[in-house]
Amino acid sequence: MPKTTILLAEDEPALGQIIKESLETRDFNVLLCADGSIAFDTYKKQAPKLLVLDVMMPKKDGFSLAKDIRAIDDSIPIIFLTAKSQTKDVVEGFNIGGNDYLKKPFSMEELIVRINNLLQRTKIQKSSEILKIGSYAFNFPKQTLHFDGNEQQLTHREAHLLFHLVQNKNKVLDRSLILNKLWGTDDFFTARSMDVFITKLRKKLKNDVSIQIINVRGFGYKLVF
């Protein structure tokens, strides 16, 4: 069975080598890059399955690198590594299209668990093609909603949030669980951000009045149709 290739962008040589060697002992193939510019070139040439990006790097920082990659590929999993601890930095990383966020210092076991979870989630999502939501057709891989011949493009986070709602149709989607999965934290700031995304999804689904995203106070949200 071929090894899963991970692109690791980390400008601290010692840390980069430790992460690389630890992942290789878990049977991953690791492409270690010392800055964001090299990482972008390597991504285009090697087509890795997952990205682990340090935020603070020379030539091209992790956020800028993620933006450039998201313009090409909206589905590859991205994990940010950072010494930054402010909530606004975490939120920025997720809004760019990151899937997970690890603050330094971190344990290798935690990184490996998060990598495996993202790879498994991606595998499940790629097996899902067109999902029916009332009169809408939701193409998760392409992040589009179709209704009566018209197409709406969803953002990366809108698509992932809607996917989880559909997977839990008629059930309460636990607020804390989904915040930790998609935003990496369930604090007040990210909870408010999630509310904004729910409002956007309601507007995009408004053409079918049988579809509702219900706020179950104190627990989460429920998609009903």
23 with 97, same domain?
yes
> Which of 127, 160, 175 is the C-terminal boundary of a domain?
127
72 with 165, same domain?
no
Compute the distance between CA of residue 84 and CA of residue 65 in angstroms, rounded to an integer: 17
Q: Minimum mean pLDDT among 42-51, 155-164, 186-195: which range?
A: 186-195
User: Which tens digits make up the pLDDT trace of 146-173?
Assistant: 999 899 999 888 988 998 899 889 999 8
Residue 138, φ and ψ in degrees, nearest 5: -110, 115
Asked if residue 119 lies in contact with residue 4, where contact means CB atoms within 8 angstroms, the answer is: yes
**23 pLDDT above the threshold of 90:** yes
146 with 71, same domain?
no
Tell me the average pLDDT across 26-46. 95
55 with 134, same domain?
no
75 with 140, same domain?
no
Give the count of beta carbons closer than 10 Å to the beta carbon of residue 125: 15
53 with 86, same domain?
yes
CATH, residue 105:
3.40.50.2300
Residue whose C-alpha is closest to residue 115's, from 1, 34, 30, 217: 30
> Which of 67, 102, 127 is the C-terminal boundary of a domain?
127
pLDDT averaged over every residue in the chain: 88
Compute the distance between CA of residue 101 and CA of residue 91 in angstroms, rounded to an integer: 10
**189 pLDDT above the threshold of 90:** no
Supply the pLDDT for residue 218. 82
Supply the pLDDT for residue 179. 82
29 with 94, same domain?
yes
Supply the pLDDT for residue 126. 60
- SS3 for the chain is CCCEEEEEECCCHHHHHHHHHHHHHCCEEEEEECCHHHHHHHHHHHCCCEEEEECCCCCCCHHHHHHHHHCCCCCCCEEEEECCCCHHHHHHHHHHCCCEEEECCCCHHHHHHHHHHHHHHHHHHHCCCEEEECCEEEECCCCEEEECCEEEECCHHHHHHHHHHHHCCCCEEEHHHHHHHHCCCCCHHHHHHHHHHHHHHHHHCCCCCCCEEEEECCCEEEEEC
101 with 139, same domain?
no
Domains of the chain: total: 2
147 with 81, same domain?
no
Residue whose C-alpha is closest to residue 183's, from 93, 108, 110, 121: 93
CATH, residue 194:
1.10.10.10
The better pLDDT of the pair 153, 75 is held by 153
> Which of 98, 127, 156 is the C-terminal boundary of a domain?
127
Supply the pLDDT for residue 213. 96
**117 pLDDT above the threshold of 80:** yes
11 with 101, same domain?
yes
Q: Which domain holds residue 54?
A: 4-127
101 with 11, same domain?
yes
The label of the residue with tokens 């007040």 reads 188
159 with 197, same domain?
yes
